Amino acid sequence: MATPAANPQIIRFGAYEVDLRTGELRKHGLRIKLQEQPFQILAMLVERPGELVTREQIKERLWPSETFVDFDHSVNTAIRRLRDALSDSADNPRYVETLPRRGYRFIAAVQSADIPESPKVVSITSATPSEEAAPAIVPGGCTQPTPFPAPTAVAVAKPQRTWLIPAITAILAISAIAAILLWRFWPQPASIDSVAVLPFTTVTGDPELDYLSEGLAESIIDNLSELPQLKVMSRNSAFQYRTRPNDVRAVGKSLGVGALVLGSIQKSGEKLRITVELVDARDDRHLWGNQWEVWITDMANLQHDVSAQISQSLRQRLTAEVQAHLAQRQTRSGLAYIAYLRGRYALNSRKNENFRRALQYFQDAIDADPNYALAYSGMSTAYGLMSFYGGMNAYEALKLSESAADRALQLDPSLADGHISRGFIIENLHRNLPAAEREMRRAIDLSPKSADAHHALALVLADQGKFDEAIAESRRSEELDPLWPGNRSTTGWIYYDARRYDDALRVLNLFAPEFGPAHWSRGLTYVALGRYQEAVHEFETADASSALYKSQKAHAYAVMGRTADARKLLAEILAERQRGYVSPANIAGIYAGLNEPQAALHWLHIADLECDSWLQRVRFDPRFDRLRSLPDFQQILESITTPR
C-alpha cells in the first residue's frame, strides 16, 4: 500500500483530496463539507494508512482528559459523518474499516501531492478485441483504431464498345428530363418538422447493451433538440417503444411526429455494428440509413456523426454556434462517454439503490475527463434525486449537488439541466423561491423544448401558490412528453394542492393501473373529499414498499379512523429511518392525520433543519390543514420561505 511522504500537506486517495493545512476535503476538486471532528479522524487515518488507529488514540486527540463527553456516542457519530462524506459503507468499506472494539483502519491506497504521480497504466479488456485485430499503439500512449479492410479493387479488361457512350449519354439525358418533370408535377409530401428517436434494439438481446441502447438514442435526442425548427419527442415518451414497431404509422400518430429514428446494435467480438435509419411515419417510407462498425470507445464520436446525418436528411443544419456548444458539452474520451451513459442508465431507473451506482459511473467519467460538463450535471441530478427519494441526508445531498452543478455550469453555462439542478437547490437549500423560478425559466430559455424544464418550473410555481401558471407549465410538459405518466401525475398533484379535487381526479383517472403514484394521489384526493371507501381501494391497490408510499397511505388511514393500520405503517417507517434517510416532513404528515400536532411539529422542525426536499410541499398540502392555525406551524412556514 502506498504511503505518503513524511509530514505531507495534501494527501490523495481515489477521487478525494485531503488538505491538512486548510482542513478541507475535496472530491474531484469540489469541496465537501465535513465537520472538524470527522476531519481530524480522517487526518489520523490517512497519515497512517493500513495501520490501526485505536479509539483511545482518537479520544486523546479530539477530547482531552478534562473534556467530559459521551465518548462512544461522539466517536460513532463522527465516524458516521466521515463515511457519509466519503460515500462509504461500514458493511462494505472502501476507505474506513472498523476493527470491532479496537478502532479503525484506512484501507485505500493514498498518495502525497508532494510526490509526482506516476503515469497510470489502464487495461481495458473491452477495447482490445483480439491479438490479430488489436489496435496499434502509437508513441505517446494513444490508441489508433485498426481500420476495417476496404474491398480490393480488381481490374478487368473489357471489350470496347464504340457505340456505348453516345447511347448512355442519350439515356441519361432522357432520365434527367423525366426526373425533372416528375419532381415538378408529382405531389410532394409535406416537409417533416418533428421526429422521435426510439431506443436502439439489441440484435442479440444482450442486457449488457441496454445502457448503450438507451444512451445512444438519448444523446441523439439531445443533439437534434438543438435544431430550432424541429420538434423532438422527449425520451420518456419515445422510450415507451422498446422494440422495433411493426406499425410505424401508429407509433408516429401516437407520438405526434412525422418521422422515426430506428436503430440497432449488434456486438461482434469486441466491435459494435450500429445501424440507423430514418423512416417517414406518415407512409412508412425509408428516408435515410447508414451503418457503422466501431470500437465501443469510439461511441462519443459516432453519436455526433449520426445526429449530423439525420439533420441533413431532414434538410436542417446545426449552426456553427450550436455545434461549438455541443462540442464544449461533450467529451473526446470514449471511456468518459461510456461511463456517462452507464450513469444515465442507472439514474433513469429512479430507484434509490441505483443512485449510488450512477454516482460512481459519473465519477469514473470525470476521472477520464475532468472537464466533462455533462458528467458533473449528471452527478448533481443524482444527489438531488437522493435528497428527494430518501437516498441520503437531504442537507448533505443538496450541498454535494450544488458543488457539482456549479462545476457543470462553470464548464458550460448553457447547460439547461445544470440550471434545473441549481433551481432545485436554491429552492430547498437556500429557500429563495423567486430565484429558483428564475433558474427554471433560464433553463427553458436555453432549451424551450425540454419537458423536464417545464416540469421543474411547474413545481416551483406550485410551491409558491401560483397554481394557474403551474398547471399551464405542467400541461406544456405533457405536450412535449405526452406518454410519460409522471407529467400528468404532477398536474393531478397540483390540482390537489389547489383544492381542485374534481380536476385532480379527472387527470389522475387517466393512468394505467400499474402506475403507482396515481393510486396514492387519487387516494389522498378521495380522503380530502371524504370518500373513504374509494380511498382504501386505491391504497390497497398501490402495494408499494417504499417509505414515500407508506407515509401517504398511513396519513390516509389515520384520517379514516384506521388508527391501528396507520400506526403499524408509522412504526415501519420509523424503523426504516434508523437504517437510512426518510423524509421527516412525510412522517409529520402521518402525525397530522393522527391529530397529534406536537409530534407533527417536532418532525417538521427536523425537516426544516435537514432541508427536507418535501418541506416546501407543506405550505399548501391539505394533509396539514389541522396545523395551519398554530403559531409554531406559521413559524415553520416563515422559515422555509426566508432566503438563506
C-alpha cell of residue 498: 389547489
Please identify which residue in the block is written with the cell numbers 490523495: 12
The residue-averaged pLDDT of 56-79 equals 72
* Residue 12 dihedral angles phi and psi, to the nearest 5°: -115, 145
Ranked by mean pLDDT, the top range of 18-32, 420-434, 567-581 is 420-434
Question: 537: pLDDT confidence band, cut at 50, 70 and 90?
Answer: confident
User: Do residues 227 and 311 make contact, with C-beta atoms less than 8 angstroms apart?
Assistant: yes
The residue-averaged pLDDT of 35-45 equals 88
- Give the strands of the sheet with 96-99, arranged side by side: 52-54, 103-106, 96-99
The residue-averaged pLDDT of 175-192 equals 51
pLDDT in the model for residue 431: 94
Percent of the chain with pLDDT over 90: 38
The residue-averaged pLDDT of 213-229 equals 85
Judge whether residue 64 has pLDDT over 90: no
Instruction: Give the span between the Cα atoms of 134 and 40, in whole angstroms.
Output: 49
pLDDT in the model for residue 242: 75
Check residues 249 and 29 and name the one with the higher pLDDT: 249
Pick the CATH number of 194-322 from 3.40.50.10070, 3.20.20.140, 2.60.120.200, 1.20.140.10: 3.40.50.10070
Domain 10-112 class in CATH: mainly alpha
C-alpha cell of residue 363: 465519477
Question: How does pLDDT run across 606-625, given as a tens digit for each residue?
Answer: 999 999 989 999 999 999 99
pLDDT in the model for residue 358: 93
pLDDT in the model for residue 137: 30
C-alpha cell of residue 407: 462545476
Instruction: Give the span between the Cα atoms of 514 and 19, in whole angstroms.
Output: 51
Question: Closest Cα to residue 576, out of 396, 390, 394, 398?
Answer: 390
Judge whether residue 558 has pLDDT over 60: yes
Judge whether residue 184 has pLDDT over 70: no
Ranked by mean pLDDT, the top range of 70-74, 515-519, 546-550 is 546-550
User: Do residues 408 and 418 make contact, with C-beta atoms less than 8 angstroms apart?
Assistant: yes
Check residues 583 and 208 and name the one with the higher pLDDT: 583
What is the residue-averaged pLDDT of the chain?
Answer: 81
Percent of the chain with pLDDT over 70: 81
Question: 6: pLDDT confidence band, cut at 50, 70 and 90?
Answer: low
Pairing label, strands 52-54, 103-106: antiparallel
Question: How does pLDDT run across 477-507, given as a tens digit for each residue?
Answer: 988 888 888 888 899 999 999 999 999 999 9
Question: How does pLDDT run across 266-276, given as a tens digit for each residue?
Answer: 887 778 888 89
Question: 324: pLDDT confidence band, cut at 50, 70 and 90?
Answer: low
Question: 121: pLDDT confidence band, cut at 50, 70 and 90?
Answer: very low
Count of beta carbons in the 10 Å neighbourhood of residue 405: 29
C-alpha cell of residue 552: 401517504
Taking CA atoms, 370 is separated from 404, 534, 568, 613, in Å, by 12, 53, 48, 29
Judge whether residue 260 has pLDDT over 70: yes
